[in-house]
Structure formats: C-alpha cells, structure tokens
Structure 1
Amino acid sequence: MKKTPLFAILLAAPLLGMAQRTPLDAASLLQDVQVLSADSMQGRLSGSEGSAMAQAYLLQRFQQVGLLPFNGDYKQLFEIDTQRAQVPQAVNLIGYIPGKLDKAIVVTAHYDHVGQRGGEIYNGADDNASGVGALLAAAAYFKEHPPRHTLIFAALDGEELGLQGARAFLDNPPVPLQNILLNVNMDMLSINGKGELYASGAYHYPQLRPLLEKVKPRRQARLVLGHDRPEQGHDDWTGQSDHFMFHKKGIPYVYFGVEDHPHYHQPTDEFEHVNTAFYPDAAALVLDFLKVMDTKLAKISLQ
C-alpha cells in the first residue's frame, strides 16, 4: 500500500474545499477516510480487532462533532448471524442532533468491510470509509447549523454480512419507526472518473424526484438519478445496501453511491485511489440534499 503523507493531504484539502466552495471540511473528510482505511484497521471485518479499532476512532469523532447519544450510549450491540464473523457480536454506532421537530431523518453509512483474505488486507477506502467520512462531515455541518428535523447519524456494522446492522437498527430503533420520515444511505462515494454520483430511490418514491432535482451540480460532481428499477437486474441497487431494510419497512430512502469500479471488493480499494477532487463534491451533494430535505420534507408526503 502506498502511503500518501497526511500533511500533504491536509494542506491541499482546504484549498480544494475553498476552490469548490464546498460547505464541509474537506481536510477532515479525507483524514477520516485515510484513518479508517489504514492497514492498522485490518479491513474492519465485523467482530474483528480491526473493527474494534474503527469503533474507537468513530466514537472519538462522534464526540468531537458533538453528536448526542441515545440513553447515554452511542453503541447498539447486536448478534451477528453468520459463520464469517470472528465473534458473534457486532456494534452499530448511533448519535443524533435534535431538531425543532420530533420527526427524524436517519443518515446511514456502514463502517465494516470484508477484512483479510489470502494474506491481503481489504481496506475498503471507497467501500465504505468514504460513506462514513461523508456522514461525519454532514453531522459536523448540522451541528453548526441546527436542523428543523431531528437528524440521526448511524454508522452501521454488518452490512457486508447481509445488512445485519440495518436490520438490528430497525428491530430496536432509537425513536419510534413512525417518526422516521426518510433514510439517506451512503455507500461508496469517492471513486468515479465521470464525475457522477448516483441517487437511487426515486423510482420507488417519485415524490423525491423534484427534491433531488433541486440539488445543483458542483464543479467536480453531479447527481444522476437511477439504478432503482426492477428490470435493471443487478444494476437495480434497491436491495444492495442498508437502505433496503428501511425500504422493507415502508420507510422512503435515497441511496447515494458510485457505480462499480475495478477496486470494488479488491485489496486495491486503498486511500491512494480516492478521487480527492470528486469526493468532497460528492459528499457535498449529499449534504445539499439533506439541507433541501430538512426544509422541504414536512411539506410533502412520501407515503
């Protein structure tokens, strides 16, 4: 694994952020991805030592951002139903920013990956350290700009083992399910050579389309709607990440992600391949959508 000096990233990222006028901290965004995808995290397989290290880092970041825990604890423990986990217990990390309204938007990104195989570490920089970095960036923004809706930020475990963290979240939600208006899920945001970030879900919830269309392109990234129609087969992403569990409960969702690339589920999914021009703008597009939804959601019906 080639190592990019962190000081170089931290020097370049603020300039990038200013040039693109992103509303988030690009330096922190990139640092979070680099830390989570380091060899020391051992691929973040659920139940592993590397997973525990990732949890410790994320708990520190939740506190730094200022997310509040439910009932005094960010951790939601649950049992993993698989032979692939090294121990049977996994951990979702959940915090929130209270709004003026009890109704909530749940922002999710899974922090687990596939661990080590054949002596190689699968670091999962794009899948899905990139989604977690964007989740933290969005949380930091809304901490400084208090939302109307309560915003719940959930770094989920067990996605790679069958969306088990999302299932556990919904089986034991921190707020009543009827109070959850929308799930915004991020899974793979940082590697795309065409400047395209897909927003999937408007086929199932067409009321979301005009709201997604309010999100303006940024210099290095633009939203493309799609990958949500049944006739698309494998290219229908409806069931391919944690948002599917919300969809099964009848909770509307938007899933943000890039199309598959050569590094997907390969040991080459390293920080060095993150597109540092595209990724901050891609994360900013998700934040732009959250800002639209926070102001507009109470005025529409998604059901």
Structure 2
Amino acid sequence: MFKVFLFLLLAIPIGAFTQDKACDTVLFSETNLLKHIKSLSSDTFEGRRTGSQGGLKAQKYIINQLYSLGVVPLVTDYKQPFRFIEKGKHYKGMNILGFIKGTDFPDDYIVISAHYDHEGVKQGEIFNGADDNASGVSALFSFAEYFRSHPPKHSIIIAAFDAEELGLQGSKYFLKSTILNAKDVILNINMDMISRSDDNELYVVGASDNKMLKATIQGGMYSSKIKLLIGHDGYDGLENWIYSSDHAGFYKKGIPFLYFGVEDHEDYHEPTDTFENIHPEFYIEAVKTIILVFNRIDNRKI
C-alpha cells in the first residue's frame, strides 16, 4: 500500500452481517488462495520490486494463473508495459491485464484490481509483502476461479498493477492509456492488504458518498465471522484512505470505487510481512465477503 497520510473526519458497521450462510457457500478453493499468497510472498520472488528479477517472476506467475483459469488477455500476452522516472531513477513497469466478457452488460466494465509489486530487497533483507499485497493478487485468482462457474453480468478487467509502491504508477498509466474509454468503466474494486486483522475488521472505502453502493453493501448478508466496516473515507475522523492505493486514479476521474483493506499493522512495510504472519481464517472470509459484495453489485444495472 502506498500511503498518503491525510487525517480527516465513525466507522460505520454494516449491521446485516448476522448470518454465516452466505460465506459458507463454496466460492473458490481456499487451499489455492493460501497456496498463492504463500508462493508470491516467498523468497523466490525477492519482494517483487518493480523491474527486478523477482518482479519479472511475479509477472509470469500471474499470467500463468490467469491463463489456467480461462481469463483471456485484455492486451497482447496480458502485458501492458510502461516507463516512468521516480526520484531520478528510470523504471520499466508492467501491468498484467485479463478480460472476462459480461453476459448482460458487456459494454460496462468493472475493473477488479490489486498491485503485485512490493519493496524488494533492502540492505540484504527481503521484504516479502505477504499482506501488502500478495493478499490482493491471490484474491484476483479467487475471483477468476469464481467467474468460471458464475459468469459476471458486467464485463470484468482483472488488473494486477505494477509500481503502486512507487507512486501508483501502474494504475495511472492504465487510466491514461487508450485500451478502453474511462467512461465505460463503471466501478473499480481494489484490494490492497486484506489478509490479517487482530480485530477481524475489513474496511471498505468509497461507499459513504455513493448512495447506491452504500445501500447495496449495507443490504447484504455476508459473514458474522468478520466485520465489514464502511469508513476511512474522510467522514469519520480516521485516516483517509481515498488516495492510499490504486483506486485513487479512478476516484480522480469520477469513477466509483470500492477499496477493501485492513488497518496498518506492525509488519507493514517491514521484512516481517510474511506468510507466517497473515491470519488465514480472516483472509479466506475477507475474500468471500468481497466476492459476495461484488455479486450484489453485479446483479443490477449500475
């Protein structure tokens, strides 16, 4: 997560989460979800720094998974290359973009995103980035798995963005490219740090000032095992996360978004953000909840 520290104005608990029934439904392989986050946050990927060998390995891993799950490329070989300069250093980035055509509203696009880059290696230590953000990328695969048996009504772009940690560069490039018209993107669902919470709290940002999204989220039955809270969006006195990750560019373009994430923890941007420190039960339940929120939104014309 690329944090911008803006402190503005009650996390709103969503009162409908009183039943386990919805999350008891088998939506994806929980074993595979944990396998992917463990793999992507292993030393093999060397912290997935943009432009590094570990970053290149992560690109191949993501492409292989999307292909095996039947997600077709949005661009040639799934790859959207871009270049940028950050603090005087030249970088080569690579977004990975997949596509699933909607059954009912094929001309309306929902971008489901997560960044795959992290801090890389610093002073000989690997910053593995399990929660930040192997958790979000692995959830992308669970979405893709879900879509194999539950085709989406809106067209879906699955976006694994690069260079989020270097100023949201990948999502910025995606939004200014000509791959599709921004007016055709009706929603961004962004996932960044969703695999651990001591308080079993998952926040969703972006719904407070969008009546349709707020009503849709509050009207659902998701899980009693974790708490889904609307907050961190400038209305509750908590740190404002509107600009904290790749959803920021969508927001600036006036595109509705929902960002799912957890509070910072002691291992945030530390070499201790490893697979061993995630909370597997919380993570599985969080991904189920996000998919069920998506499903409620997808089942209506936005």
TM over 0.5: yes
- Which of residues 96, 109, 115 in structure 1 aligns to 2:120? 115
Query: What is the distance in 1 between the residues matched to 2:178 and 2:69?
Result: 22
Q: CA RMSD in A?
A: 1.8
Match status 1:95 vs 2:98: yes
Match status 1:205 vs 2:231: no
Which residue number in structure 1 is paired with residue 278 of structure 2? Answer: 274
Higher RCO structure, 1 or 2 (CA under 8 Å, sep 6+): 2
**CA separation of 1:173 and 1:94: change in aligned 2, threshold 3 A:** farther
Question: Normalised by the size of structure 2, how large is the TM-score?
Answer: 0.88
Secondary structure in structure 2 of the residue aligned to 1:42: helix
Which residue number in structure 2 is paired with residue 190 of structure 1? Answer: 195
Question: Normalised by the size of structure 1, how large is the TM-score?
Answer: 0.88
Secondary structure in structure 1 of the residue aligned to 2:280: coil
Q: Is the 8 A contact 1:203 1:229 kept in 2?
A: no
* Amino acid of the structure 1 residue aligned with 2:28: L
Query: What is the distance in 1 between the residues matched to 2:199 and 2:28?
Result: 22
Cα distance, 1:22 vs structure 2: 4.2
Cα distance, 1:231 vs structure 2: 6.9
Q: Is the 8 A contact 1:20 1:219 kept in 2?
A: no
Which residue number in structure 1 is paired with residue 291 of structure 2? Answer: 287
Query: What is the distance in 2 between the residues matched to 1:288 and 1:81?
Result: 39
* Amino acid of the structure 1 residue aligned with 2:97: I
Which residue number in structure 1 is paired with residue 8 of structure 2? Answer: none
Which consecutive residues of structure 2, in runs of 5 or more, have no partner in the other structure?
Answer: 1-22
Query: What is the distance in 1 between the residues matched to 2:203 and 2:228?
Result: 6
Higher strand share: 2
Which residue number in structure 1 is paired with residue 135 of structure 2? Answer: 130
* Amino acid of the structure 2 residue aligned with 1:99: G
Query: What is the distance in 2 between the residues matched to 1:274 and 1:260?
Result: 13
The count of aligned residue pairs is 279
- Which of residues 195, 200, 220 in structure 2 aligns to 1:215? 220
Q: Is the 8 A contact 2:74 2:157 kept in 1?
A: no
Cα distance, 1:215 vs structure 2: 3.2
Query: What is the distance in 2 between the residues matched to 1:184 and 1:215?
Result: 17
Which consecutive residues of structure 1, in runs of 5 or more, have no partner in the other structure?
Answer: 1-18
Instruction: List aligned pairs for 1:24-173, cutoff 5 A.
Output: 24-83=28-87, 88-100=91-103, 101=105, 102-173=107-178
Q: Is the 8 A contact 2:222 2:292 kept in 1?
A: no
